[in-house]
Amino acid sequence: MTTPLVEMDGDEMTRILWKMIKDELILPFVDLKSEYYDLGLEYRDKTSDQVTVDSANATKKYGVAVKCATITPNVQRMSEYNLHEMWKSPNGTIRAMLDGTVFRTPITIPSIHPAVKFWKKPITIARHAYGDVYRDVEIKANEPGVAKLVFEGENGQREEQIIHTFKGPGVIQGMHNTDASIRSFAHSCFKYALDLKQTIWFATKDTISKKYDGRFKAIFEEVFEEYKDAFEKAGIEYFYTLIDDAVARVMRSEGGFIWACKNYDGDVMSDMVSTAFGSLAMMTSVLVSPDGKYEYEAAHGTVTRHYYKYLKGEETSTNPMATIFAWSGAFRKRGELDNLPELVHYADELEAACFDTLNAGIVTKDLANLMEGVTPVVKNSADFLKAIRENLEKRLA
Ligand code: NAP
Ligand code: MG
């Protein structure tokens, strides 16, 4: 390695897995160069969350980070960890600082069949994470009256429209988005499509919402001009359609593409797609900024329930796949950026060793019931990692 990887440690069961993964699958094989940030809740509290900000800045500087799942504190965590403040979600802080988009992809294996029988390859969902209904304002009208939409520009633009003349009670909702945020989203999407060499779909309802959704469509078209040639060279496409048409097509597709969604569509569709593919423990996630910085992680949380069992000395069979793939994704990206084919090779072989293990039926408990056509052999986390290590050693020998 030439450039350090930004390493963000985390909480609970995933923090335990983090160390196990490093000891079994990384340190014996890679001369790891990382800049370590402890995003465990205790240290976040101790530094008044400065460590989260520092880790995001390091990601801006070096370009590639790998993150362990972290606790987002709530009232109960305040007392459990004796916190000075209810710190914000680290993922939210990092995403805001990098202005990034999150892409979620399932890890698929032949013995776990997606609920949708046509799906043969993973579908990656990209959700626009700003605005629309998530930053709306709402009014409940309790009597007859007029609702108006008014814009007062700083330089004189003034527009006023009647939303509705109420004859009785009703509800009103106002929402917004910004060109800057939509543009960042578009850049992240096109960059990541080129990375994966996969076609990207985007859909809105611009036939009905001509100005609002129409603006999304127009900005995507405009930004795509910058990527058109690279897409042609990579043999991939940008495909725009209406959201209802997209949903119908996704169901009949084979998968193997990225589906970019507006905020609400992404919220709903990502839960549908990930559930249909099988297991939260097999879902990877990467944050991509519009200027090409990457933060890899698992989509699941810190698996608290397993951690409490672990603390009692009980054996746990927590699935480390998504966290391993966060590491392999980060190594591959680092290798590509720094022109280190050996590091890219290691990342490929690490993932292949995981598939060797799963395809032989060696799995953690969460997957056992999902498998068809293979008799599963359930292992605890430590033995599962040992089995992967054996396969990795064979591959790298
Ligand atoms: P979670 O950690 O994702 O776990 C929910 C349940 O899903 C687990 O109890 C377990 O089911 C199953 N599961 C998830 N990952 C698994 C794995 N790798 N192997 C096996 N089973 C797995 O969600 P949560 O319990 O709602 O949240 C726990 C903490 O994580 C919270 O403090 C939350 O703030 C945080 N969180 C962090 C992130 C992040 O950093 N990206 C994301 C989400 C949540 P069973 O109990 O049935 O075995
Ligand atoms: Mg949701």
DSSP for 227-294 reads THHHHHHHT--EEEEEHHHHHHHHHHS---EEEEE-HHHHHHHHHHHHHHHS-GGGEEEEEE-TTS-E
Q: How far is the CA of 323 from the centre of ligand 1 (A)?
A: 12
4-344-381 Cα angle (round to 5): 80
Using CB distances shorter than 6 Å, the residues near ligand 1 are 69-72, 91, 280-281, 297, 300-305, 318-319, 366
The residue whose C-alpha atom lies closest to atom 43 belonging to ligand 1 is 301
Shortest CA distance to 98 belongs to which of 11, 166, 6? 6
Q: Which among 287, 300, 319 is the best mutation to test ligand 1's pocket, defined by most ligand atoms within 8 Å of the CB? A: 300
**Token pair for residue 34?**
């990382």
Residues of the chain with pLDDT under 50: none
The residues near 171 (Cβ < 8 Å, ≥ 6 apart) are 138, 139, 140, 141
Q: How far is the CA of 69 from the centre of ligand 1 (A)?
A: 9
Atom of ligand 1 nearest to the CA of 304: 28
Q: How far is the CA of 270 from the centre of ligand 2 (A)?
A: 7
The residues near 285 (Cβ < 8 Å, ≥ 6 apart) are 102, 103, 104, 105, 296, 297, 298, 299, 322, 326
Ligand that comes closest to the CA of residue 104: 1
333-361: buried (b, 16+ CB within 10 Å) or exposed (e) per residue? bbbebeebeebbebbebbbebbbbbbeeb
Task: Tell me if residue 48 falls in helix, strand or coil.
Answer: coil
The residue whose C-alpha atom lies closest to atom 31 belonging to ligand 1 is 71
Residue 280 has a pLDDT of 85
Task: Answer for the pair 146, 281: CB distance below 8 angstroms, yes or no.
Answer: no
The residue whose C-alpha atom lies closest to atom 37 belonging to ligand 1 is 301
Task: Tell me if residue 128 falls in helix, strand or coil.
Answer: coil
CA atoms within a 13 Å half-sphere pointing along the CA-CB vector of 227: 25
Residue 267 has a pLDDT of 87
Ligand that comes closest to the CA of residue 280: 1
Q: Which among 75, 271, 302, 365 is the best mutation to test ligand 1's pocket, defined by most ligand atoms within 8 Å of the CB? A: 302
The residues near 210 (Cβ < 8 Å, ≥ 6 apart) are none
The residue whose C-alpha atom lies closest to atom 27 belonging to ligand 1 is 301
Task: Answer for the pair 241, 257: CB distance below 8 angstroms, yes or no.
Answer: no
Q: How far is the CA of 8 from the centre of ligand 1 (A)?
A: 18
366-370-372 Cα angle (round to 5): 140
DSSP-assigned letter for residue 192: H
By the CB criterion, residues less than 5 angstroms from ion ligand 2 are 267, 271
Q: How far is the CA of 172 from the centre of ligand 1 (A)?
A: 36
Residue 99 has a pLDDT of 87
Q: How far is the CA of 42 from the centre of ligand 2 (A)?
A: 28
For residue 314, CA distances in Å to 24, 69, 307, 351 come to 21, 21, 9, 28
How do the residues of the chain divide into helix, strand and coil, expressed in percent and rounded to 5? 45, 20, 35
Task: Tell me if residue 20 falls in helix, strand or coil.
Answer: helix
Residue 253 has a pLDDT of 97
Residue 218 has a pLDDT of 98
What values do phi and psi take at 140, rounded to 5? -100, 115
How many CB atoms sit inside 10 A of residue 271's CB? 12
Q: How far is the CA of 67 from the centre of ligand 2 (A)?
A: 21
Dihedral over Cα of 305, 307, 308, 312: its sign: positive
Residue 394 has a pLDDT of 98
233-238-239 Cα angle (round to 5): 145
Q: How far is the CA of 208 from the centre of ligand 1 (A)?
A: 38
Atom of ligand 1 nearest to the CA of 298: 41
Output the pTM of the full model: 0.92
Ligand that comes closest to the CA of residue 267: 2
Atom of ligand 1 nearest to the CA of 299: 41
Task: Answer for the pair 203, 119: CB distance below 8 angstroms, yes or no.
Answer: no
Residue 330 has a pLDDT of 98
